[in-house]
Every structure is written in structure tokens, then in C-alpha cells.
Amino acid sequence: MARYGLLIDYEYCTGCHTCEVACQMEHDLPVGKWGIQLAEIGPWQIEGDKWQYAYIPVPTELCDLCGKRVAQGKLPACVHNCQADVMRFGPVEELAKEMEGKSHMVLFAPK
């Protein structure tokens, strides 16, 4: 049986928090709990007046990859609702191939 995961391309994440809200709504999680949480990295100065600021959606220990949704043939709530389309869901082997040579992607594959 294939192992599934999330591939997140954080280079284009806009920091909208839609993944967090979608997850909370899907799982009826209380305030302050998430299956995926947006980490804000920066800002830090690159040079002169150029600054780096990034957002990285990070699955937490509460993430179950929306097992019930996936069993119904749907995408996980975070992937389905991502406004910037920076998340992919699928077999880990396929996602790993997609991220080859791209340093701005992370692969989340729970055991």
C-alpha cells in the first residue's frame, strides 16, 4: 500500500492562513489547536533595503492528512483550500520526485 504525504512549496506561500482555518473547521478543533500551522520566518535583512520574509505551512502532530476526506476521494482540507496552490497531496514516491532539485519545498509524510 502506498504511503501518502504533503508536498509544500513554501516559496509562493502568501501567509493567508487558509490552510489553518480549513483544518480547524474540518476537524472541529478548538481555538489554538491546528493540524497545520503557519510558521512566519523573518523578516531578516538580505542587503541594503532588501528583506526576506517567508511563510511555511507546518503540519502538526494533530495532522491525519484528513483521512476521512481522503477515503471519500477528496483532497485534505488544507490542500483543497490553499489559495496560492502551494500544496500537493499524493504518494510519497511521486511527491519526492516532484521536489528533486527544488530547495524551497518540504515533504511531510507521517508514519
Tens-digit pLDDT profile for residues 17-70: 999 999 999 999 999 999 999 999 888 898 899 988 888 899 999 999 999 999
Q: Which H or E element spans position 50?
A: strand 50-59
Can you tell me the distance from the alpha carbon of 98 to that of 92, in angstroms, rounded to the nearest whole number? 10
- Give the cell for residue 51: 528583506
Q: What is the DSSP letter of 104?
A: T
Task: Report the relative pairing of strands 105-108 and 4-9 from DSSP bridges.
Answer: antiparallel
Q: Look at the pTM and tell me if it is higher than 0.85.
A: yes
